């Protein structure tokens, strides 16, 4: 991994790509690295908040966003939601964070103990007062939401809740373009790697499934298919430095079917034809796993 060489922008886009592929742990690591590299970047904190499984860390990350920008609508909405899930004491602390006047100094980090609750009669100044922002596309529409990538104010019509928080349409389009970063040679590598993986592993798995007969063969194929598919997808993705291509899944599937056919032909020559049903079940499950991971 040469993530050190990535720019912060690239790291954040990779993290967003991981998140949208459902690779939560990878996304969490990448966002964490981004917050370490640039602690003043609210996009990194929002991504970490969305990808971490820890409620405590989610809360700390959203509070960090409010330190950077007290008007961040997404963090405010998320904290309000967290307050309903937290125990009463924590919920109170979260509400105090939300009601804190903008002018107040940087708050303590989350988890540093109970905050003074003696501010009864304290005049709560709603954070949004004073700063009325308008959607960049609809100058007449007031909004508190901001795109968490470019920071521009956008109304609900112009924003989409993605896996990594609220994003404007321009940023989503841009991110999709950087999402598919494969080069043309990557397709050749994917085809070759997939073909040989299948040509070598195909006859071995075919012979293995053949040992167990039809009934147990199918049961084993059901368990083995997704597992082997997952391993194969990892090997194929690593072979191209984890770059992603729009057609990578289909190229891999076609190459694997060709590889399995050649491997099976070799098996037939040596008098070991595979069982078509167990092999079919196995192939269907492993190929759908591979296709899904190579989107
Ligand atoms: Zn944007
Ligand atoms: Zn708008």
Lowest-pLDDT range of 32-36, 98-102, 239-243, 276-280: 98-102
Query: Is the model's pLDDT at 174 over the cut of 60?
Result: yes
Nearest in space to 21 (alpha carbons), one of 255, 294, 290, 254: 294
What pLDDT shows up at residue 129? 29
The alpha carbon of 172 and the centre of ligand 1 are apart by a number of angstroms equal to 7
Mean pLDDT of all residues in 133-154: 84
Confidence band (pLDDT; 50, 70, 90) for 250?
A: very high
What pLDDT shows up at residue 118? 33
Q: Structure tokens of 221?
A: 């194929």
- Tell me the three state secondary structure of residue 259: helix
Mean pLDDT of all residues in 39-63: 90
Mean pLDDT of all residues in 232-261: 94
The alpha carbon of 170 and the centre of ligand 2 are apart by a number of angstroms equal to 12
What pLDDT shows up at residue 190? 97
Could you say which ligand is closest to the alpha carbon of residue 140? 2
Q: Structure tokens of 188?
A: 């050749």
Could you say which ligand is closest to the alpha carbon of residue 173? 1
The alpha carbon of 148 and the centre of ligand 1 are apart by a number of angstroms equal to 7
Structure-model confidence comparison of residues 108 and 186, the more confident one: 186
Nearest in space to 49 (alpha carbons), one of 60, 39, 40: 60
What pLDDT shows up at residue 150? 83
What pLDDT shows up at residue 48? 94
Query: Is the model's pLDDT at 270 over the cut of 60?
Result: yes
CA distance 170 to 173: 5
Confidence band (pLDDT; 50, 70, 90) for 73?
A: confident
The alpha carbon of 72 and the centre of ligand 1 are apart by a number of angstroms equal to 14
Domain with CATH 1.25.40.10 in the chain: 3-179
Confidence band (pLDDT; 50, 70, 90) for 105?
A: very low
The alpha carbon of 139 and the centre of ligand 2 are apart by a number of angstroms equal to 8
Mean pLDDT of all residues in 143-165: 81
What pLDDT shows up at residue 103? 43
What pLDDT shows up at residue 128? 34
What pLDDT shows up at residue 187? 96
The alpha carbon of 45 and the centre of ligand 2 are apart by a number of angstroms equal to 24
121 CB burial (10 A radius; 0-12, 13-18, 19+): exposed
The alpha carbon of 146 and the centre of ligand 1 are apart by a number of angstroms equal to 8
Confidence band (pLDDT; 50, 70, 90) for 63?
A: confident
The alpha carbon of 96 and the centre of ligand 1 are apart by a number of angstroms equal to 29
User: Which alpha helices (DSSP H) does 21-156 contain, by range?
Assistant: 24-37, 42-51, 55-68, 73-85, 88-99
Query: Is the model's pLDDT at 125 over the cut of 50?
Result: no
Q: Which of 19-23, 44-48, 80-84, 173-177 has the highest mean pLDDT?
A: 44-48
Indicate the CATH number for domain 3-179: 1.25.40.10
Residues with CB under 5 A from ligand 2 (ion): 135, 137-138, 155, 157-158
Taking the model in full, what pTM does it have? Answer: 0.50
The alpha carbon of 43 and the centre of ligand 2 are apart by a number of angstroms equal to 20
Mean pLDDT of all residues in 191-199: 96
Mean confidence (pLDDT) of the chain: 82
């Amino acid at each position: 991994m040469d993530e050190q060489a990535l720019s912060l922008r690239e790291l954040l886009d990779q993290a967003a790509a991981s998140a949208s592929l459902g690779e939560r742990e990878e996304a969490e690591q990448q966002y964490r690295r981004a917050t370490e590299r640039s602690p003043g970047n609210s996009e990194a904190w929002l991504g970490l908040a969305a990808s971490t499984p820890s409620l405590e860390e989610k809360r700390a990350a959203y509070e960090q966003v409010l330190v950077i920008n007290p008007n961040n609508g997404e963090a405010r909405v998320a904290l309000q939601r967290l307050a309903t899930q937290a125990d009463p004491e924590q919920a109170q602390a979260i509400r105090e964070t939300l009601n804190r006047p903008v002018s107040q100094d940087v708050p303590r980090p989350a988890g540093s103990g109970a905050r003074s609750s003696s501010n009864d009669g304290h005049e709560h100044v709603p954070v949004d007062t004073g700063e009325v922002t308008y959607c960049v596309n609809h100058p007449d529409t007031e909004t508190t939401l901001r795109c968490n990538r470019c920071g521009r104010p956008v109304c609900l019509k112009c924003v989409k809740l993605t896996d990594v928080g609220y994003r404007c349409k321009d940023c989503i389009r841009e991110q999709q373009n950087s999402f598919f970063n494969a080069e043309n040679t990557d397709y050749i590598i994917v085809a070759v790697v997939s073909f040989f993986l299948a040509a070598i592993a195909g006859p071995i798995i075919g012979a293995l499934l053949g040992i167990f007969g039809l009934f147990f063969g199918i049961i084993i194929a059901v368990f083995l298919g997704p597992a082997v598919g997952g391993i194969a997808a990892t090997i194929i993705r690593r072979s191209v430095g984890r770059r992603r291509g729009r057609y990578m899944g289909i190229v891999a599937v076609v190459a694997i079917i060709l590889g399995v056919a050649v491997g099976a032909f070799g098996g037939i020559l040596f008098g070991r034809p595979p069982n078509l049903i167990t092999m079919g079940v196995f192939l269907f499950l492993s190929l759908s796993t591979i296709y899904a991971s190579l989107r």
